[in-house]
Structure 1
């Protein structure tokens, strides 16, 4: 099925199942705050004269996206005060985290980084914490509200909503800043979070689910017995037991190969995190207006990027998960050479469109392949906690190093910086081949099950 037909089928499914409609709204609520503390924020800071070094360092305020696994088991295990009894666990936490995002965005709307950068950093931190927590809750709601065989379509719908949220926070915020000001832009974005509030109020709450280890083969059953034997005493706190069981299950099922797997996940999107925080400062420094950036980088880039998850899902189904993962990793890294070319050529709209086309498609394809791979690694018994751990792992190294991206640009310039980020594709390719070779030696039944889960997840992909 071609991407256009898949998109129409997706819309029909959304209309037929209210859970998918709510997933669309929650995906939007997840995507909206991300750029507002990331690249859109970078454009705002650069415009008022904040140095590239300081812009890069401020990116550390968004590290909550990368360490959300630290409190994910708590949100999964415990009901929120008061709202838990009124709305259920997932919807209660959704409302709390979304109200926190709104508070943070209104704080950013009222701040002025030119005169009080400290307050801007504070409200960025508040927004990032609640936005990252919202992502944990949305993933938990998604996994528990619908059967596992429908997770593929849920992920595709989530990706669609997420990209619309990204479009609003990117192009929408830049347009508002161009024709009004940044205060109006961030205030409007805070108002758009009411869409997520409505979803939290009326979405169905998942039924309680008991975590049970599933045995799909004799080997899996044996490993489950070992995991049960190593569980901590019943007197241990629930949150500590949640960490122990989720990690033990992952290590017992994978063994030593988990080391290169984790290295691969940590490095896979590193080039995008390094380059992403400096893309808007590059556009501003080259002399592009906010309207030009919105038209080409955001709207046109949105259209190109929207096709990538469907093409990625199709490639996973047609060629397999590991070949698609290998191609995506190489393509995403080498696509940054187009940004180096733009930096060398100057303010040329043709080269900007070329760079945005290559990066948007390659990044979207790679994101879909990685998300599908991480989904294939999780166990049904610990899906929410393990996925939070893996998704944090892929973001943490990139966000730690991205804080120094401004300093690197100041030292070496944009062309050298973007060319250097593309070289990360080499170790990514080597690790892909190592993991691929190991996957070929796994139990055939287990490999088939994981390939099926990856194919379902490949229908959609997130950040």
Structure 2
């Protein structure tokens, strides 16, 4: 690949669409989680009620249940992928605007219903966006495309998280802030008119039965299918363990203030993740999928030693910044390669369902390591625990090494257009 070809990857509409649609995908998440919790806290609701609202996020875990419908049916406008994106984004804009008219103390149940609707539509948008990314990106663009998706998603979370809290508290008030977020969501619809269709659209399933069972038959007919599923669970498991209790560790284990941790995590951590994803995506153009997965997997495992260093050295703000920066940088690189792997494993006829299933499987570690992390810290202490997270990452790297031929085969098939 020449330098001119490399630059063309960043100039094309497919990569630009990843940024715009990544922003639309990330915008609703905080509005039903952290930002909504802050609004309810300011309004004086009790902690049990606030905790109950966290259940609306279950839609993101179970989104694979309705993904086959989005593979099977095509809306009347803009095609199979962009048509569903249009419907979900318009629905999100309306539902977020509706939340503005439901103050927590006066209309709690209406707010709960709208928050659940936003989470459902947001999870549905994620299903179609992941499928669209898999369908539209060329194999050589997947690393960069994954990185740009992360960039758009993280920027949106910053807007609907930190910026939204500041606007609600200092400038607009809560209802007006939610109306502004709804307007931003509606503006994202314009990007769909510019986003390109895949060069060769895949055939949609002919029946709902094929849409449900076809993705499973297709995946498990492949050599090494069960090992691929295990790799998806293990690849970022060490990262998941390291991040599960990181805030508690920095405050209670090391002794930093909540303000110090918030500033470093929300600014330096976010910036490092974005830089890592973009840098990892650009490296993938030269390294290819397998070598990128291997290199970034080793780096994200070793980067957990930064937390171990914090546990065994005197407290210092610069040390915390270095540890969080390196860990997020390497984690962002690993995420870019991992998302590219998920794209490579999907059959474009069933990409919505297969990607939803694979990403749900990948989230097992992130969602369920929290309780076991607490027990391990209590039994071992912080320093041995973070050494243990490095050890937990090793099986995923070793399995990847053993599956070298399989990953190379999928990469070759993707480049051949299969």
The TM-score by the shorter chain falls in which range?
Answer: 0.7 to 0.9
User: 1:84-131: per-residue Cα shift (whole Å, max 9, x none)?
Assistant: 1x4333222112111222233224434444676555443332211111
Please tell me whether residue 187 in structure 1 is matched to residue 179 in structure 2: yes
- Per the alignment, residue 87 of structure 1 pairs with 78
The 1:261/1:393 distance shift into structure 2, 3 A limit, reads same
Structure 1 spans left out of the alignment, 5+ residues:
213-235, 456-463
Please tell me whether residue 326 in structure 1 is matched to residue 297 in structure 2: yes
The 1:304/1:44 distance shift into structure 2, 3 A limit, reads farther
User: 1:123-178: per-residue Cα shift (whole Å, max 9, x none)?
Assistant: 33221111111112222223334544444443343333223222322332232134
Contact 1:62 1:124 in 2 (8 A): no
Q: Select 1:126's aligned residue among 107, 112, 117.
A: 117
- Per the alignment, residue 310 of structure 1 pairs with 278
Shift, 1:24, TM fit:
2.3
- Per the alignment, residue 392 of structure 1 pairs with 360
31-40 or 126-135: which moved more? 31-40
Shift, 1:29, TM fit:
0.7
Q: Select 2:150's aligned residue among 150, 159, 167.
A: 159
Contact 1:106 1:190 in 2 (8 A): yes
Contact 1:326 1:432 in 2 (8 A): yes
Q: CA RMSD in A?
A: 4.6
Distance 2:212 2:109 in 1: 35
User: 1:272-302: per-residue Cα shift (whole Å, max 9, x none)?
Assistant: 77448989999xx98756xx88864434433
Distance 1:98 1:352 in 2: 39
Q: Select 1:109's aligned residue among 100, 113, 121.
A: 100
Distance 2:200 2:181 in 1: 34
SS of aligned partner of 1:130: helix
364-373 or 330-339: which moved more? 330-339
Please tell me whether residue 143 in structure 1 is matched to residue 114 in structure 2: no
Matched pairs, number: 404
Distance 1:332 1:397 in 2: 18
The 1:128/1:397 distance shift into structure 2, 3 A limit, reads farther
Please tell me whether residue 434 in structure 1 is matched to residue 394 in structure 2: no
Please tell me whether residue 261 in structure 1 is matched to residue 231 in structure 2: yes
Q: Select 1:74's aligned residue among 51, 69, 76.
A: 69
Distance 1:246 1:277 in 2: 39
Shift, 1:76, TM fit:
1.9
Contact 1:46 1:281 in 2 (8 A): no
User: 1:190-222: per-residue Cα shift (whole Å, max 9, x none)?
Assistant: 22112321112443444773449xxxxxxxxxx
Matches within 5 A, 1:200-219: 200-206=192-198, 209-211=201-203
Structure 2 spans left out of the alignment, 5+ residues:
none
Shift, 1:264, TM fit:
1.7
Contact 2:247 2:261 in 1 (8 A): no
446-455 or 251-260: which moved more? 446-455
Matches within 5 A, 1:219-230: none
The 1:152/1:189 distance shift into structure 2, 3 A limit, reads same
The 1:453/1:432 distance shift into structure 2, 3 A limit, reads farther
Distance 2:45 2:256 in 1: 16
- Per the alignment, residue 338 of structure 2 pairs with 370
Please tell me whether residue 61 in structure 1 is matched to residue 21 in structure 2: no
- Per the alignment, residue 220 of structure 1 pairs with none
Distance 1:48 1:351 in 2: 37
> Normalising by the residue count of structure 1, what TM-score does the alignment of the two structures yield?
0.69
The 1:121/1:424 distance shift into structure 2, 3 A limit, reads farther
Contact 1:22 1:199 in 2 (8 A): yes
The 1:53/1:261 distance shift into structure 2, 3 A limit, reads farther
Shift, 1:332, TM fit:
6.6
> Normalising by the residue count of structure 2, what TM-score does the alignment of the two structures yield?
0.75
Contact 1:325 1:370 in 2 (8 A): no
Distance 2:307 2:43 in 1: 26
Distance 1:25 1:392 in 2: 23
Distance 2:413 2:246 in 1: 30
